[in-house]
Chains A and B, each alone.
Chain A
Amino acid sequence: MANPKSAYSVSTKKEKSDTHIIVVWVDNEAGVLARVVGLFSGRGYNIESLAVAEVDAKKNISRITIVTTGTPQVIDQIKLQLKKLVPVHKVADFKRNDKTVIFKEMALFKVVGNKNKIKKAINACKKYDAVILDKTKKSNVIQITALRREIDKMTKNLRKLGLVSVSRTGAVAMTRGDKVFN
């Protein structure tokens, strides 16, 4: 916004952006996801991936995991703004490179081709806890759990081995050890 006729000033200081995983515990009620997602879009924050499901049926609590990038100031704002939403109970924030936290994403690959190709594909997936979910003479559905960049890499590598369809989840996160985020 360098337009000299603008009424608004522009900050010239540039801060470094980091990828963060934000975990939000919310009341599982109608519209709650729209509130959280609307806050991100309305304030111009980005969402790289999103995972949400109920985790406590008795207390009616859902856990939302959002991967986002932003400067430290933006990440702080995201957390503080989220905490203001009425159905939000608590908010946790982890850096992507935080060693004390486990991040996992899941992907399903459909591979179509001859036996040889399928075997190669399965082998390539092995180090990511590959599970064969469906098998026919001409195809396989393989499930892997891994980090985002590993799944990105696999998606690329499997192209030549007959990959025809990819479905993947957003990241979920959990701290290592006996500590629980409060």
Chain B
Amino acid sequence: MSKLFTGAEIVFKCLKDQDVEFIFGYPGGAVLPIYDELKNHSSIKHILVRHEQGAGHAAEGYARSSGKPGVVLVTSGPGATNVVTALTDAYMDSVPLVCISGQVPTHLIGTDAFQECDTTGITRPCTKHNWLVKDIKDLSKVLHEAFQVATTGRPGPVLVDIPKDIQFAKTSYLKPKIKKKLNGKSLNNFSQKDIDHLIDLMNKSKKPIIYSGGGVINSGPEASEVLRELVELTGFPITSTLQGLGAYPGDDNQFLGMLGMHGTYEANNAMHDCDLLINIGARFDDRITGKIDEFSPKSKKVHIDIDPSSINKIIKVDLALVGDVKDVLKGINTTLKKKNIDLKKSNKQKISSWWEQIQKWRTKNSLNFINSDETIKPQYAVQKLYELTKDKDTFITTEVGQHQMWAAQHYKFNKPNRWMTSGGLGTMGYGLPAAVGVQIAHPKKLVIDIAGEASVLMTMQEMSTAVQYNLPIKIFILNNQYMGMVRQWQELLHEKNYSESYSEALPDFIKLAEAYGCKGIIAEKPFELDEKIKEMLKFDGPVIFDCRVDPNENCFPMIPSGKPHNQMILGPNEKEENKITGKGKALV
């Protein structure tokens, strides 16, 4: 008979076989056997957070920046409910997480025991799949399957709920089996015929555009390489969603910037006027499409996605290639090269007037803003930060709001996995714990959380985690004393009734930093920004940077809701077009 192991030992054997190096977690009654076992496994390091939501976001940051699944360990009841926000966030943004939660012993399940909750019931709609392990014999199989489900196909979070008695029970350990497919859920489902069809469309197109998304990042760094090759081979313009930033170099001439609600004028107009739209690993989110009925009305639409349920969900497409972005793009590039179709040359003539049009849109300079010598403009602060960190292979996380959009607009990413932001769920408080996770994955790299003062206060306690593990994360707060995006909407849509969007009693961030045992820096005038940012970068340890910015600045350009892409509001430099009156006002 093979050797018997306790459930807690099996958990660690599984984690080792899945090459897990870090667990983000918080102990409690129902996971104590697993925490007890931790000391016997030196290859796995546990990162103690200050709140389970922080554990979830840290694991997300770890997963996004490293491409490996993030592992979370929490206790039953409140431990599990606290992690729900992070699981939902990971589900919306397709981040692979494996969450292990303790549960009350099996004989107490259903009795309203202390710290009991229906964890699998609560997390069912926010995970790809979850398991309640009621029999120790299932434990190793379930844990291996959990990793497989989280990381294959469209990645996402999973949860394994392990009752305390199962953690003590003994059984033999089963190694992971190499499974072919889960219930026949195949990944690649496209043919050469589809690729030929796409190339035919590319050949005929006069106004093409590539719209790439987070799927390219999830497909791995190689996918970004082949995407760059495709753009090079075709000479097509490319735009990106919020999640896709970094897959294509942000400072390249063929890149039109981000599209969508706060995307650039050229990207959105190109989306509207194109005759061929190639969606690569994006999902036609409502912040991207604007008014559905008038979304890119004249184009043939192609959708490349690993998730069959993304196809035709929002926008009906003419051609769908279901598969891993990397594999599909490789197929396209190979065919282009084999057929010796030099689209770049043959297309140059055909799409040259399209590029001329795009250049015209570009001259609007839609990300422009009116700078000031008196107050720090938030856009200026992000630009300064970019200039001073662009040579350092910097990892940026953000919270949610205006600062997030300014970061996306003004920070140019050149590599995938360098940009971690909560897009789908829009979770304020994501950035700080995510930065913790990123720094764990990349201890020598520069990690900056571009934050808003309202967001960052939601998970500020994780500074304590950063200090405990000597993680030199930089929290760059664009402090405008408002929930900026809420304030902006109230200004534009609710007759400047700034209902509850002003924070009357903000903490002194310098003192707060000192209280946590890290460094605090404040910048109040534009001229001191350079020096203060350099001071932040020089400091070897966590920093909270209180950057006092203009409280009334709005984030432009903007597609008002209910409007198509070609009806954007531009910034204050375009005053005459910026007037929203009468009927238009109601539509914003």
Chain A residues in contact with chain B, CB under 8 A? Answer: 4-13, 30-31, 34-35, 38, 42, 73, 76-77, 80-81, 83-90
Which residues 113-135 in B have Cβ within 8 Å of A in the complex?
120-121, 124-125, 128-129, 132, 134
Assess the A80–B308 pair: CB atoms within 8 A: yes
Cβ-based interface call for B182 (8 A): yes
Give bound CA distance, A85 to B308, whole Å.
Answer: 12
Contacts of B307 in A (CB 8 A): 84
Cβ of B183 and Cβ of A86 under 8 Å apart?
A: yes
A83-B185, A86-B149 known; A9 and B290 CB under 8 Å?
A: yes
**Residues of chain B lying within 8 A (CB to CB) of residue A10:** 562
The answer on a CB contact under 8 Å between B286 and A9 is: yes
The number of residue pairs between A and B whose CB atoms lie closer than 8 Å in the complex comes to 67
Specify the chain A residue showing the minimal Cβ separation from B559: A9
Q: Is the Cβ of A81 less than 8 Å from the Cβ of B309?
A: yes
B153 to chain A, nearest CB (A): 8
The CA-CA distance from A76 to B312 in the complex, in Å, is: 9
Q: List 26 A-B contacts (CB under 8 A).
A: A4-B587, A4-B588, A7-B489, A7-B561, A9-B293, A11-B293, A12-B293, A30-B132, A31-B120, A31-B121, A34-B121, A73-B312, A73-B313, A73-B316, A77-B313, A83-B185, A83-B308, A84-B309, A85-B129, A86-B149, A86-B182, A86-B183, A87-B183, A88-B183, A89-B183, A90-B184
The answer to whether B292 and A9 touch across the interface, beta carbons within 8 angstroms, is: yes
Q: Mark B464-508, 1 if CB is under 8 A from A, else 0.
A: 000000000000000000000000010001100000000000000
Residues facing A in B278-311 (CB within 8 A) are 286, 289-293, 307-309, 311
B309 and A77 contact, CB distance less than 8 A: yes
Interface size class of B (residues with CB under 8 A): 20 to 34
Complex: A86 Cα to B179 Cα, angstroms: 14
Q: B residues near A, CB below 8 A?
A: 120-121, 124-125, 128-129, 132, 134, 149, 182-185, 286, 289-293, 307-309, 311-313, 316, 489, 493-494, 561-562, 586-588
A6 touches B561 (CB 8 A): yes
Listed from nearest, the 3 A-B pairs whose CB atoms lie closest are A80-B309, A4-B586, A86-B129
Query: Shortest Cβ distance from A148 into chain B, in angstroms?
Result: 29
A12 to B128, CA, bound (A): 32
Q: Closest Cβ of chain A: how far from B582's Cβ, in Å?
A: 12
Report the Cα distance A13→B295, complex, angstroms: 13
Pick the contact of A5: B289, B293, B493 (CB < 8 A).
B493
Residue of A nearest to B182 (CB): A86
A123 to B290 CA separation, bound complex (whole angstroms): 60
Chain B residues lying within 8 Å of A77, measured Cβ to Cβ, are 309, 313
**Which of B124, B132, B182, B311 has the most chain A CB within a 10 Å cutoff?**
B124
Are B132 and A38 in contact, CB atoms less than 8 angstroms apart? no
Q: With A84-B309, A86-B129, A89-B183 known to touch, is A8 a contact of B561 (CB < 8 Å)?
A: yes
Contacts of B291 in A (CB 8 A): 9
Determine the distance from Cα of A10 to Cα of B292 in the docked complex, in whole angstroms: 7
